[in-house]
Amino acid sequence: MPNFIIAYCGPAATPDDFWTRWNFDPLLLAVLAALALLVARGDSSNPRAGWAAIALMLVVFVSPLCALSSALFSARVLHHVLLISAVAPLLAQAFPWRRVDPFPLPLLVAAHALILWTWHTPGAYTWGLASVPAYWLMQVTLLGSAWLMWCSILAPLRQVGPALIALAVTIGQMGLLGAIIVFARSPLYEVHIDSTVAWGLDPFTDQQLAGLLMWVPAMLPYLAVGLWTAWSSLRAREPFL
């Protein structure tokens, strides 16, 4: 299996140079600065969520996690998990749709699942990391579809039942994808073998760790929102004494 380098993130980080591998891409920093300006000017519905989303995007795209994702498949999956399960819901709170339900929630759930699964098929995944435009197409479609879905789930007038079903379906499909990755009998994705070994992992163990990240930690934000939504609904229905 050939050495594999993510076009945007560059050569794989090693334990020796990890903390020096920050990404100061001027265009990326300009986009994050523009987003920060919107939050600072009060154009965000929830400034705290906006700042939290920006902080997480700094972790995902600027910190050495980007270079580490060139070395480990599990780091790339962690990158995606943070993007769709943490950054996207925070952006949905900070910058929600201004009108109610521009798209049906079932369509958004299905579209996001299709995009997630497509980008994690081995061929599409390798292509998505082979050039800078392909890399950003992957990031924008993953984040954009997740943001749209979270906007609909978190909409103030959203009925509880459809929101809980959407969350449950998303947990289920992500868990299934993670299980497939965990229980595959051989490595499915191209990796930088030398760098994977440098981090104390072989490609197969790295893949299993990636699947576990997709399977268990990724579902926690969806589960938390679902429990909070159900609890809030029950409390709203309690009669006043």
Q: Which pLDDT tens digit goes with each residue over 155-200? A: 887 889 999 999 999 999 999 999 999 999 888 887 777 778 899 9
| Tens digit of each residue's pLDDT (9 = 90 or more) over 133-167 | 999 999 999 999 999 999 999 988 788 999 999 99
What is the model's pTM?
Answer: 0.92
Contact (Cβ atoms closer than 8 angstroms) between residue 105 and residue 166: yes
Q: How far apart are CA 78 and CA 178, in angstroms?
A: 12
Q: What is the pLDDT at residue 1?
A: 37
Q: What token pair was written down for 233?
A: 């609904």
Whose tokens are 């949905």? That residue is 92
pLDDT per position as a tens digit, 104-119: 999 999 999 999 999 9
d(CA 63, CA 197): 22
Matching residue, tokens 């769709």: 84
For residue 196, the model assigns a pLDDT of 86
CB 21 within 8 Å of CB 67: yes
Angle, nearest 10°, between helix axes 47-57 and 26-40? 170
User: What is the structure's pLDDT at 154?
Assistant: 93
Rounded alpha-carbon distances, angstroms, from residue 195 to 12, 18, 68, 128: 6, 11, 9, 20
pLDDT for the residue 169: 97
Type of residue at 41: R
pLDDT reading at 210 higher than 90? yes
Residues in CB range of 212: below 8 A, 6 or more apart: 178, 182
- With beta carbons less than 8 A apart as the criterion, state whether 108 and 145 touch: yes
The per-residue pLDDT of the chain, averaged, comes to: 91
88 pLDDT above the threshold of 70: yes
